Amino acid sequence: MTEADFVVVANRLPVDRDADDNWRRSPGGLVTALEPVMRKAEGAWVGWPGQPDLDLEPFEFDGTQLIPVSLSTEEIELYYEGFSNDTIWPLYHDVIAEPRYRRPWWEAYVRVNRRFADAAGEATAQNGTVWVQDYQLQLVPAMLRETRPDLTIGYFHHIPFPAYGLYSQLPWRRQVLEGLLGADVIGFQRVADAGNFARAVRRLFRYETKSSGIRVPEPDGSIRIALAKAFPISIDAEAYVELAARKDIRDRAREIREGLGNPKHMLLGVDRLDYTKGIGHRLKAFGELLSEGRLAVEDVTLVQVASPSRERVDTYAHLRDEIELSVGRINGDSDTMGHTAIRYLHQGFPREEMVALYLAADVMLVTALRDGMNLVAKEYVASRADNRGVLVLSEFAGAHDELRTAVSVNPHDIEGLKDAIMQAVEMPAREQGRRMRALRRRVLEHDVEDWSREFLAELAASRKPAGSK
Ligand code: F6P
């Protein structure tokens, strides 16, 4: 294995294994964003191959060296399902679900983070750069700095960072901050997330902060500046524009509407089936609009795509039951022989089908209770080259900071949400165009390549001359 100058460390490798054991590029935005950077830098990617007990040698995929980190069934349960997705995930999403604090989960998280850090250390050349991704690996920056002080280390946090009043619940709150402070640049989605992080550092360690810089004392008594700043992530906007222009996809959008009986209004929700997404609130508001007669089932259909996620975590299994009960009730109360209120799909779809859905939908409902960014909102906007369609967007999604001309909602306020849905359904074409043009300008002007370029430029600028402290 040759050492690389640029190494990404993420919980998952950027590939999935299909039924015939062939590797395919994963569809996610991060993978697309980093692909050109990885190729140019002849980089390496350290990550879990997505299945238990898979002990694989490093291999090359599309010009990138992939370095698999093996996880046992027990480690997946404790580190991934437990600490990452049943402690950190609910805590960092403002305790929408109750976080569980289990010492064996924490111990596994430390062990597995160490394994990722060691693999990254071995893969990176002298004075190279490592970019650590997301909340599953918050301890990796400091672990790496300890063994490889020559490296430049970046970390990007894809989910929210909570206010101190919540963060302080975490029994290992000091260790996690210490882990993150090992990075030279710590990137967040929103200015508010970076602020929450800096405040937690001030409260727990009394370190001084000045604008984005945090003064971190080193063991030898010197001071190192770690930057904590917002770098809002985006999508490969051009790819969506191109897909939306394809004839087969436009035809498919028409076919989708025909399949629904050509309703006057098609509403759309697209989410991982996660309690942070506010799917229940959305269904409640829609159900009440139908039962109160403000919307008629003959005129409107809500298509809800809820892709399966983290199904072995109890909270997720319960959520599925809850959502499916609501869908059944609303449909049972409102459907006619010829019309269905909610077309619910517990499935994932390829990007082409998603764009066809975006083109078919008059109204896109993003009602997250808390969300790091929400890229679905940006995908919808990028796909609407016709400047039609209305985005209803929660104040609690990171994307809300940028997408100012969306119809803004507080999803907890069910009456407000109902009014927002009615406003979207009834919005005149001119107003749709005015709002959508402004949304598109933002998404097309700041795509995911700009995101990675800006982060990496800041990281390169933070690099000290070789040999200095
Ligand atoms: O952005 C949050 C995130 O947890 C990513 O880290 C992850 O790739 C994605 O959502 C999907 O989650 P999971 O890897 O747990 O299926």
Q: Report the share of the chain in percent with pLDDT over 70.
A: 99
Which atom number of ligand 1 is nearest to the Cα of residue 85?
A: 15
Ranking 57-66, 288-297, 416-425 by mean pLDDT, the lowest is: 57-66
For 60, the enclosing helix (H) or strand (E) is strand 59-61
For 115, the enclosing helix (H) or strand (E) is helix 103-123
**Average pLDDT rounded to a whole number, residues 151-155:** 98
Place of tokens 């990404």: 8
Q: pLDDT per residue over 100-116, tens digit each?
A: 999 999 999 999 999 99
Q: Is 303 helix (H, G, I), strand (E, B) or coil?
A: strand
Residue 105 Cα, ligand 1 centroid: separation in angstroms? 18
**Average pLDDT rounded to a whole number, residues 342-359:** 97
Place of tokens 């933070």: 462
- How far is residue 74's CA from residue 96's CA, in Å, rounded to a whole number? 26
Q: pLDDT per residue over 401-410, tens digit each?
A: 999 999 999 9
Place of tokens 């009615």: 422
Residue 395 Cα, ligand 1 centroid: separation in angstroms? 21
Sign of CA dihedral 307, 313, 395, 11: negative
Residue 202 Cα, ligand 1 centroid: separation in angstroms? 29
Contact call for residues 127 and 150 (beta carbons, < 8 A): yes
Residue 432 Cα, ligand 1 centroid: separation in angstroms? 32
Kindly list the distances between the CA atom of residue 354 and the CA atoms of 14, 168, 425, 441, in Å, as whole numbers in the listed order. 20, 39, 21, 21
13, 14, 11, 4: which is closest to 35 by C-alpha?
A: 14
**Average pLDDT rounded to a whole number, residues 193-218:** 97
Which atom number of ligand 1 is nearest to the Cα of residue 133?
A: 6
Q: Which amino acid belongs to residue 127?
A: N
Residue 193 Cα, ligand 1 centroid: separation in angstroms? 18
- How far is residue 394's CA from residue 314's CA, in Å, rounded to a whole number? 26
Sign of CA dihedral 88, 89, 93, 99: negative
**Ligand 1 pocket: which of 158, 274, 311 to mutate (most atoms <8 Å of CB)?**
158
Ligand 1 contacts (CB < 6 A) are 12, 134, 158-159, 309-310, 372
- How far is residue 153's CA from residue 162's CA, in Å, rounded to a whole number? 23
Give the pLDDT band (50/70/90) at residue 465.
low
Which atom number of ligand 1 is nearest to the Cα of residue 135?
A: 6
**Average pLDDT rounded to a whole number, residues 211-239:** 96
